[in-house]
Amino acid sequence: MRIVFLGQPGSGKGTQSERLVRYLNIPHLSTGDMLRQAQTDGTPVGELAAKYLTSGRLVPDNVILDVVKERLEHDDCRRGCLFDGFPRTVPQAKALDAYLQSHDCPLQVVLQLHVPEDLLVQRLLGRGRDDDTSEAIHERFRQYEALTKPLVDYYGRQGLLKRIDGTGTPKEVFDRIKEALASVGPAGPISA
């Protein structure tokens, strides 16, 4: 199954993604994790991404697209994958659609994890990641409003969007996700 997972920072998307990839046995393509790893490894992409990561601004589309496409070439993505943190903008979504269509393996579902904003801030300040300064958190909210919300409309128009209530225990949220996925078919053929 090929899934895009949308959700504000702090929505629980990371936790639910991990459960979901174990449940479906598909790779987890978290662009944030990929960039942080590139930074740790000191690759050219990592060096380029560093200043965006610390400020909470988005890495340029062409950079992120190269990173994702390279990852999609790996064999483990043939049975599907979960996109987490990508696409973040409509141009990224359009580029992903074009790429997947040219490989005859379109997206099957887009999950949107919804949590009220006051609860989001509470959760973010609690997790204490290096880039969770209140400045970076607010910048990420701002970017989400401006760039990512239009994705919800974009995928809604394609009939792919399923909105999930992200409040409650992780198990309650995961049960809602499984229920939402029950009506989605298998991944279908991939001709590389």
Site residues (vs ligand AMP, CB under 6 A): 9, 31-32, 35, 52-53, 56-59, 64, 85-88, 92, 140
Please tell me what DSSP assigns to residue 28.
Answer: E
What are the start-end ranges of the E strands in the chain? 2-7, 28-30, 81-84, 109-114, 161-165
Question: What DSSP string runs through 49-85?
Answer: HHHHHHHTPPPPHHHHHHHHHHHHTSGGGGG-EEEES
Active site (annotated) includes residue 13 = yes
Catalytic residue among 127, 142, 149, 178: 127
Let me know if 22 is a catalytic residue.
Answer: no
Catalytic residue among 129, 142, 149, 178: 129
Shortest Cβ distance from residue 37 to ligand AMP (Å)?
11
CB of 70 to ligand AMP, least distance (A): 14
Q: C-beta of 156: minimal distance to ligand AMP in Å?
A: 19
Terminal-residue alpha carbon distance, the chain: 16
Nearest to 85 by CA among 51, 116, 118, 52: 52
Cβ closest to ligand AMP, residue 135 vs residue 175: 135
Output the smallest distance, CB 34 to ligand AMP, in A: 8
**CB closer to ligand AMP, 87 vs 166:** 87
62 vs 175, beta carbon nearer ligand AMP? 62
Query: Between 42 and 188, whose beta carbon lies closer to ligand AMP?
Result: 42
Told to judge if 140 belongs to the known catalytic residues of this protein, a careful annotator would answer: yes
CA dihedral of 127, 30, 144, 91, whole degrees rounded to 10? 170
Q: Is 66 left (phi over 0), alpha (psi -120 to 50) or beta?
A: alpha
The residues annotated as belonging to the active site are 13, 88, 127, 129, 140
